[in-house]
Amino acid sequence: MAAGWLPQALRVSSPNWDERPPGIRIDLLVIHGISLPPGDFGGPWIDALFQNRLDPEVHPYFHPIAGLKVSSHLLIRRDGELIQYVDLTKRAWHAGVSSFQGRERCNDFSIGIELEGTDDTPYELAQYQVLADTSLAIMALFPAITPHRIVGHSHIAPSRKTDPGQAFDWGLFFDLLGHPSR
């Protein structure tokens, strides 16, 4: 693994990252849900958003978000394809205003994984399997991330976010992770 890049992931670099604060221990994994435009799967728009290339003229939904500077470390597409945008040791811009157990600025100490989907569309089994395998690989690299330190975006930003949503099967995910009693 070159620095914080997973060898099993397709590398599509995002410019939207920076260094983590000195002395920060990476100890949180945040699961997100995304589709662009909402409910559309498989297009190039997530890559475009994370690379600052989203054309606001393509779809009305893109107008207010085209200028955002956001990223995630990883994306898992509906078919299970794993894409990495940011080195895991760097700070991706995925959590926004957030808090976990009284600690603000979750981007500082977390890794973000996006699942292609919506809050109310069931995720695919291939996504759960890749998410579990990827989470285990991340946990091996960053042992401070335990099953109790894997959360949804909605857990760290409950007044702003609902993802990965009610369609995300936490029980299945933790079963695949090998921690059914979390």
C-alpha separations of 181 from 85, 126, 129 in Å: 32, 22, 18
Catalytic residue among 19, 57, 81, 114: 114
Identify whether the C-beta of residue 112 lies closer than 8 Å to the C-beta of residue 127. Answer: no
Helix (H) or strand (E) holding 7: none
Q: Specify the pairing of strand 82-84 against strand 10-11.
A: parallel
- Give yes or no: 116 in active site: no
In 3D space, the residue among 63, 62, 66 whose CA is nearest the CA of residue 52 turns out to be: 66
Long-range residue pairs from 132-138, CB within 8 A, at least 24 positions apart, any chain: 132/173, 132/176, 132/177, 133/8, 134/6, 134/8, 134/9, 134/74, 134/76, 134/82, 135/29, 135/177, 136/177, 136/178, 137/6, 137/8, 138/29, 138/88, 138/111
Identify whether the C-beta of residue 111 lies closer than 8 Å to the C-beta of residue 90. Answer: no
Cite the active site residues. Answer: 114
